[in-house]
A and B are shown apart, each in its own frame.
Chain A
């Protein structure tokens, strides 16, 4: 089992620029069922072996797609998300970095009450090992297994997955939720999905400074989860008031500090890895039944 995507996922690609095409191809090679692309004005063409449509609705009708990955540049990205929702897809994963915050605020508000799940934006995507790759992750470092991985960061997700795989611990699904201030799927949403998945036996959660999503997640772990959770918080030594790359990663007015997040998680029974190099090891120690 897995969350969000599996071998039955039928994926569309919205935005077929250089990056969209490149990653559509890698996903196809990985065995993902990429069924079509959407590029307004290019309907009827074929790009990189994919049939192209003018609208998501047309593409969905013709291909039976149920998910979409969005590579549309920032000015049109929020519109692309809402178009995916309008077409009745179950899942949209938005990779685009740099979407204006107010565009996302309005889009998120418009998605309330709609059945589509959004992952991202500004995220690396979702991989269910050996079944489905949505986005830009290097899927070759994953291996199938019982651990769910959820992270705000891209490359740090790879680091954690790599540590697990090297210890012989596989993953159910690896998911990057994105580094922006306003995102579709939150830590709590992802943790709830992993908790409901019978095959996920433990979760690795990778947070970072800024905002209060990790504290909210800690409350959820304590009150709602039986599955053990291991965490790491990046940015323990970041200076206040500076944006550390991600729009969301800023310590403002004494809030969003790593130390507060770590304390909240530990109080909720989460094993927090002190160093970024011991995420896999911390899991192996905390949940010995998973270590091979």
Chain B
């Protein structure tokens, strides 16, 4: 789960990491009040959306007075931000964060991530703060320092010294980094983060390390034990259909094609999208109905697929292991009748109770095209769309 910058900074503060003072505002007047309350003269007004690259897109602006803070907030609030990380339609800005300006001497990059290949945690640090780390990795990989950390032992003081001195920090700042990275690891472990990135981590003119921007992702699988973090979820930032799917325990990702897909299992669902494209078609969605798919769930899945107006045909591809094909077939029939499905349906049932499932479909009055193999399923779904066009 992703959170806003201002929320990430609250969590950093909780773990003793220095961040600039700031306040959230949802109206220009609130932004003006926030700037006045901060009392620092210069403030930064920052769009709060779940995407990086906000500065270049015009979502981050300086203001030298409360009146100017109001003015720039009125420009940013309500704008649709387009950055390399936003979806094609952009993201509407509903909140800004008004933050005290910092006197910056230098900018660094610092992150803690899960290193899948090493099966450990890793610190990634760089002297190139303020840039995308992927870009640094590509152009100047020698400027990146990494240190892997055992999940049970935790980061050691010598590792922090290695990182600090490699970044060219003075001894006083290395001592500060020790406190900061210690806090960041405690945060990571205690709150089940999956990425904690501070970019830039600035060195102020006074020589202090301050987190100027922060991005923290939390492990969805661990939210059950972090009520405080789960509360930070912002439904406005999530794709509406993906959220609806999540609520009924389906995995759904919207795509831009016209063949709706319902599959059991993530791997087979991905392969089904591949199959459709291999046959010259274009899938409208990824949908994994999961292991517990039954009649009710099939109906909900159909509703979700049909909310996409681009859908011109639906392909159901089920390989029953735990899932029983007869129950899926009942669900397909019920959904098609109750929802009045008008687009062509191609259904492939294999595995547990598949013959029974196919019989149920054949006995219904619905216009369902059966398919035996994955190849047939793909071909018939693509043909169904072509025939209906």
Q: A residues bordering B, Cβ < 8 Å?
A: 19, 74-75, 98-103, 105-106, 108-110, 124, 136-138, 141, 151-159, 162, 179, 181-182, 206, 208-209, 211-213, 216, 232, 234-239, 241-249, 253-254, 274-278
CB–CB A155/B264 < 8 A: yes
What separation, in Å, do the CA atoms of A234 and B271 have in the docked complex?
Answer: 5
Please list 22 pairs of residues, one from A and one from B, whose beta carbons are closer than 8 Å in the complex, sorted by A's number: A74-B224, A100-B219, A102-B222, A105-B119, A108-B151, A152-B267, A153-B266, A154-B268, A154-B321, A158-B350, A158-B351, A162-B319, A162-B350, A181-B114, A182-B119, A235-B274, A238-B286, A242-B286, A244-B251, A244-B266, A245-B288, A276-B271
Q: B116 near A: Cβ within 8 Å?
A: yes
**Closest partner residue, chain A, to B150 (CB atom):** A109
Q: Which residue of A lies closest to B351 (CB)?
A: A138
Among B152, B221, B222, B275, which residue has the most Cβ atoms of chain A within 10 A?
A: B221
A74 and B151 form a contact (CB under 8 A): no
**Across-interface contacts of B270 in A (CB, < 8 A):** 153, 156, 208-209, 234-235, 238, 244-245, 249
Given known contacts A100-B221, A239-B253, A274-B278, A138 and B320 CB-to-CB distance under 8 angstroms: yes
How far does the Cβ of B197 sit from chain A's closest Cβ, in whole Å? Answer: 12
Judge whether B221 and A151 touch: CB under 8 Å. no
Q: Does B176 contact A (CB under 8 A)?
A: no
- Could you tell me if B192 and A109 are in contact, using CB atoms closer than 8 angstroms? no
Query: Which among B194, B269, B271, B375 has the highest number of chain A CB atoms within 10 Å?
Result: B271
Is B373's beta carbon under 8 Å from chain A? yes
Distance (whole angstroms) from the CB of A23 to the closest CB of chain B: 8
Q: Is the CB of B253 within 8 A of A242?
A: yes
6 interchain residue pairs of minimum CB distance = A153-B267, A245-B266, A155-B265, A156-B267, A100-B222, A276-B271
B side interface size, CB within 8 A: 53
Known A136-B291, A155-B319, A245-B270; further 14 A-B contacts with Cβ < 8 A: A101-B114, A102-B222, A109-B151, A136-B321, A153-B265, A154-B268, A179-B266, A211-B116, A244-B253, A245-B266, A247-B221, A274-B278, A276-B275, A278-B375
Asked if B378 lies at the interface with its beta carbon under 8 angstroms from chain A, I say yes
| Docked complex: B206-227 residues within 8 A CB-CB of A | 219, 221-222, 224-225
Give the contacting residue for B221; candidates A99, A153, A156, A235; CB below 8 A: A99
B117 on the A face (CB < 8 A): yes
Would you call B228 an interface residue if the criterion is a C-beta within 8 Å of the partner chain's C-beta atoms?
Answer: no
Supposing A109-B150, A110-B152 touch, asked if A277 and B373 sit within 8 A by C-beta, the answer is yes
Q: Which residue of A lies closest to B188 (CB)?
A: A102
- In the complex where A153-B266, A239-B255, A245-B270 touch, is A254 in contact with B134 (Cβ < 8 A)? yes
Dominant SS among interface residues on chain B: mixed
Report if B352 contacts A (CB, 8 A). Answer: yes
Complex contact B119–A276 (CB within 8 A): no
Which of A100, A137, A238, A254 is the one whose CB lies under 8 Å from B192? A100
Contact of A238 with B321 at beta-carbon distance under 8 Å, contacts A101-B194, A153-B267, A277-B374 already known: no
A154 to B268, CA, bound (A): 8
Q: Given A158-B321, A216-B117, A253-B134, does the pair A275, B274 have CB atoms closer than 8 Å?
A: yes
Q: Is the CB of B266 within 8 A of A249?
A: yes
Q: CA separation between A106 and B251, bound complex, in Å?
A: 27
Residues of B within 8 A of A213 (CB): 117
Whether A109 contacts B152 by the Cβ 8 Å rule is yes
* Contact B374–A276 (Cβ < 8 Å): yes
Give, as a whole number of angstroms, the nearest-CB distance from A107 to chain B.
9
The reply on B336 being an interface residue by CB < 8 A is: no
A245 and B120 within 8 A (CB) = no
Q: Is B277 an interface residue (CB 8 A)?
A: yes
**Is B43 interfacial (CB-CB < 8 Å)?**
no
In the bound complex, CA of A248 to CA of B151 (Å): 19
Report the Cα distance A278→B350, complex, angstroms.
17
Min CB distance B132 to A, Å, is 9
Is the beta-carbon distance between A101 and B219 smaller than 8 angstroms?
yes
Binary flags per residue of B123-146, CB closer than 8 Å to A gives 1, else 0: 000000000001000000000000
Partner of A181, one of B116, B150, B222: B116
Residues from chain B with a CB closer than 8 A to the CB of A151 are 267
